[in-house]
């Protein structure tokens, strides 16, 4: 044996009794270790027929029997009696009580196609992957491991692939750049489908990487075979199988480029046999001179029309959506020149602090009377990066200027007086310069303060409502107003908890993440993992969920603990899908099948290694909120709430 290397495989030989076999590891290789007729021997662990693990077999009548289909081998020589085949034996030595096995020294790793694609992905800025390693993605997983060992990649192993996709979607919403979600063939990949759709409809860039069964068995009904290209063709704007003769680094470059530019989902699937092929002369790519600036200016005519409307306006209102999240400094400067209220959609909550003198709060079903008042009293709406969804309820009865980077979003649902196709910050700066010194708008800041006073007085009245059937949502969010860190990233679930959060919590320097257009229950906890992966410990992360939503991915609390993510979870527990009950009543249906049986959430969190807290009375909230936010690791606060007090 050339370049022989000895590996210790067993500390104490007495562990292996006479007549027993076990699996041990020598470097990265599995070895079948046997004890037969007083001698300890080592064999290759793979049966040559189907790769059955011989170390899980047994010695019967003097022969080692494969556990998968009963083929027999001599426990020390590895030969199959009566046949030409067998398994390779390896030298064994015993020093003291320790057992050593000799193997050929491991060869230097040869760069694979997966290595090239993983390095290309990292070069394009994707440094975070949420996934689950399994039998059909091992070659690609090994390439991701090497990038992580070089310090170029953060890999977060999740408990459910759906949580991984939601986490990656939230990462894209927060940062504007894609993370990757990663799964095996078949059910692992299909579990990601909902999170992929969440990213797609909310225009968050996302890269999906999937393992696939070997190409030679495709179409034969092989174990876990699902046509992933067909399955994902409706959700992935870029959707390709990696082939032996693909231009591999170019394929990965295009996948990331599509995700970035189109704010869409890209998907690459890797057949099992492709993942470990040698890369040959292929080299990784990077984005140098491969991607253009997005700072494009709108057409002059649309600017002319928009400035004409602004010059005539006395009471303009600015409405910002999620699409304006990276343009807010320019938007706020424009608002301050106009002295106009800035209202937000629910998805855009927090893009302007509610303490700003021009902040008008959230508009729509999750909103405040402050916002609805100013929309109704306006003579011009300037809508930036918003989609006119029914949930937001932007009126179509006012003169409107709409600015968006997506031409399909302009006048999508009804006619708009002026459509401005351009990057939002660039467009707003041009509008500001074109109208500076040429406007006669009223200073609405005093009226904004008055309307906030009216709304805050109303909230004080609602705080007195308590039926001893659990706290009202307003009690929870009033306390959160006092204790939540000013710069926290907040992830929100779907349900009455979200409506109340939008209505009662007054944002500071917060960023809010939610499943907007898809409205998928279960978003908050996985999204908090994506948020933490993006900001690390530079900003606090808070997840707000109802009991129905939290239970969808409850096991991910163990992921928070594993990676020591200091996420604070607040769960409003009313033992009911209360939003659905409310919809049944409003639709004149009987309430049916909305009751829930829940675990003790605080005790569950404690069992996972997190801090668990509970409150069911108003006078407990200050203490538990203080403890929640002073804790340095993952923590959960369970609040018993009344489903009728929204």
Would you call 274 helix, strand, or coil by DSSP? helix
| Other Cβ atoms closer than 10 A to 638 | 26
- Decide if pLDDT at 268 tops 80: yes
Protein fold of 113-274 = Rossmann fold (3.40.50)
Q: What is the pLDDT of residues 605-625, one digit of tens each?
A: 999 999 999 999 999 999 999
Q: Are 306 and 431 in contact (CB under 8 A)?
A: yes
Domain covering 4-104, topology: Rieske Iron-sulfur Protein (2.102.10)
The lowest-confidence range among 56-70, 121-135, 409-423, 455-469 is 455-469
Average pLDDT across the chain, whole number:
94
Q: Pick from 318, 259, 11, 249: which is nearest to 111 by CA?
A: 249
Domain ranges of the chain: 4-104, 113-274, 300-447, 463-640
CA distance 30 to 53: 9
Torsion of CA 504, 507, 510, 516, to 10 degrees: 50
- Tell the CATH superfamily of the 463-640 domain: Thiamin diphosphate (ThDP)-binding fold, Pyr/PP domains (3.40.50.970)
Q: Give the position of tokens 């699937």.
A: 269
- Tell me the C-alpha distance between 451 and 469, whole Å: 32
- Please say whether the beta carbons of 286 and 352 come within 8 A: no
Q: Are the beta carbons of 87 and 48 closer than 8 angstroms?
A: yes
Going by C-alpha positions, the residue among 415, 418, 421, 413 that lies closest to residue 393 is: 413
At the fourth CATH level, which superfamily is domain 300-447?
TPP-binding domain (3.40.50.1220)
Rg (CA), the chain: 30
Distances (CA, A) of 630 to 2, 217, 515, 568, 579: 60, 55, 28, 10, 32
pLDDT number for residue 293 = 86
pLDDT tens sequence across 360-382: 999 988 899 999 999 999 999 99
Nearest-angstrom CA–CA distance, 131 and 271 = 17
Give the separation between CA 530 and CA 204, rounded to whole angstroms. Answer: 12
The CA-to-CA distance between both ends of the chain, in Å, stands at 75
d(CA 492, CA 174) in angstroms, rounded, equals 13
Q: Tell the residue number behind the tokens 């010059």, with chain if given.
A: 311
Token pair of 18 as six digits? 């006479």
The strands making up 567-573's β-sheet, listed across from edge to edge, are 511-514, 489-492, 541-546, 567-573, 635-640, 611-615
Q: What is the pLDDT of residues 172-227, one digit of tens each?
A: 999 999 999 999 999 999 999 999 999 999 999 999 999 998 877 777 778 878 89
In angstroms, the CA 201 to CA 263 distance is: 10
User: What count of residues does the chain have?
Assistant: 646
Structural element, H or E, at residue 107: none
pLDDT of residue 57: 95
- The reply to whether domains 113-274 and 463-640 share a CATH topology is yes
More confident residue, 163 or 51: 163
Q: How confident is the model at residue 302 (pLDDT cuts 50, 70, 90)?
A: very high
Instruction: Determine the average pLDDT of the residues in 1-13.
Output: 88
CB 491 within 8 A of CB 527: yes
What is the rounded distance in angstroms from the CA atom of residue 285 to the CA atom of residue 248? 10
Q: Are 88 and 77 in contact (CB under 8 A)?
A: no
Q: What confidence tens digit (pLDDT) does each residue in 31-54 have?
A: 999 999 999 999 999 999 888 999
Rounded (5°) CA angle 334-172-193: 135
Q: Are strands 98-104 and 92-95 parallel, antiparallel or unpaired?
A: antiparallel
What distance in Å separates the CA atoms of residue 396 and residue 347, rounded to the nearest whole number? 20
pLDDT band at 1 (very low <50, low <70, confident <90, very high): low
**553 token code pair:** 């991915």
Q: Half-sphere exposure of 374 toward its Cβ, with a 13 Å CA cutoff?
A: 35
């Amino acid at each position: 044996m050339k370049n022989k290397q000895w590996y210790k495989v067993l500390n104490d030989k007495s562990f292996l009794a006479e007549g027993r076999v076990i699996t041990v590891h020598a470097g990265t290789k599995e070895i079948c270790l046997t004890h037969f007729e007083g001698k300890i021997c080592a064999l290759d662990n793979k049966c040559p027929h189907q790769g059955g693990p011989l170390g899980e077999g047994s010695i019967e009548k003097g022969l080692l029997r494969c556990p998968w289909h009963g083929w027999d081998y001599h426990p020390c020589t590895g030969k199959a009696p009566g046949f030409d085949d067998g398994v390779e034996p390896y030298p064994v030595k015993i020093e003291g009580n320790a057992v050593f096995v000799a193997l050929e020294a491991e060869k230097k790793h040869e760069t694979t196609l997966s290595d090239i694609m993983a390095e290309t992905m990292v070069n394009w800025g994707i440094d975070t992957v949420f996934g689950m390693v399994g039998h059909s993605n091992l070659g690609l997983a090994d390439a991701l491991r090497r990038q992580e060992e070089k310090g170029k990649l953060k890999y977060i192993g999740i408990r459910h692939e759906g949580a991984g996709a939601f986490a990656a979607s939230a990462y894209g919403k927060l940062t504007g750049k894609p993370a990757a979600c990663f799964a095996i063939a078949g059910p692992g990949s299909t579990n990601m489908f909902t999170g992929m759709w969440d990213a797609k409809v909310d225009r968050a860039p996302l890269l999906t990487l999937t393992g696939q069964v070997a190409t030679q068995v495709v179409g034969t009904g092989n174990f876990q075979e699902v046509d992933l290209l067909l399955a994902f063709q409706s959700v992935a704007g870029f959707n390709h199988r990696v082939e032996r003769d693909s231009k591999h680094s170019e394929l990965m470059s295009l996948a990331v480029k599509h995700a970035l530019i189109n704010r869409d989902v890209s998907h690459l699937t890797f057949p099992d046999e492709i993942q470990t092929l040698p890369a040959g002369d292929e080299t990784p790519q990077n984005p140098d001179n491969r991607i253009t600036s997005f700072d494009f200016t709108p057409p002059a005519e649309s600017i002319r029309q928009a400035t004409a409307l602004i010059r005539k306006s006395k009471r303009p209102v600015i409405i910002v959506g999620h699409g304006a999240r990276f343009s807010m400094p320019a938007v706020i400067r424009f608002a301050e020149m106009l002295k106009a209220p800035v209202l937000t959609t629910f998805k855009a909550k927090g893009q302007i602090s509610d303490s700003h003198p021009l902040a008008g709060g959230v508009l729509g079903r999750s909103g405040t009377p402050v916002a609805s008042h100013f929309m109704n009293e306006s003579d011009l709406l300037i809508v930036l990066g918003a989609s006119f969804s029914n949930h937001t309820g932007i009126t179509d009865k006012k003169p409107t200027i709409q600015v968006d980077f997506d031409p399909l979003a302009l006048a999508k649902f009804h006619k708009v007086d002026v459509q401005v196709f351009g990057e939002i910050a660039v467009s707003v700066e041009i509008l500001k310069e074109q109208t500076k010194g040429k406007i006669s708008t009223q200073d609405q800041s005093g009226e904004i303060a008055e309307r906030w006073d009216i709304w805050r007085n109303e909230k004080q009245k609602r705080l007195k409502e308590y039926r001893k059937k659990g706290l009202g949502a307003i009690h929870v969010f009033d306390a959160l107003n006092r204790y939540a860190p000013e710069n926290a990233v907040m992830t929100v679930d779907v349900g009455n908890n979200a409506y109340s959060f939008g209505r009662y919590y007054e944002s500071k320097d917060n960023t809010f993440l939610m499943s907007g257009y898809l409205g998928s229950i279960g978003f908050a906890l996985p999204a908090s993992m994506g948020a933490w992966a993006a900001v690390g410990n530079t900003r606090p992360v808070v997840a707000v969920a109802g009991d129905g939503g939290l239970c969808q991915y409850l096991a991910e609390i163990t992921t928070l603990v594993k990676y020591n993510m200091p996420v604070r979870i607040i769960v409003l527990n009313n033992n009911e899908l209360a939003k659905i009950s409310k919809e049944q009543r409003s639709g004149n249906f009987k309430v049916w099948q909305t009751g829930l049986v829940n675990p003790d959430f605080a005790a569950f969190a404690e069992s996972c290694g997190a801090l668990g807290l509970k409150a069911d009375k108003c006078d407990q909230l200050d203490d538990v909120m203080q403890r929640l936010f002073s804790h340095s690791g993952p923590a959960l606060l369970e609040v018993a709430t009344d489903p009728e007090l929204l």
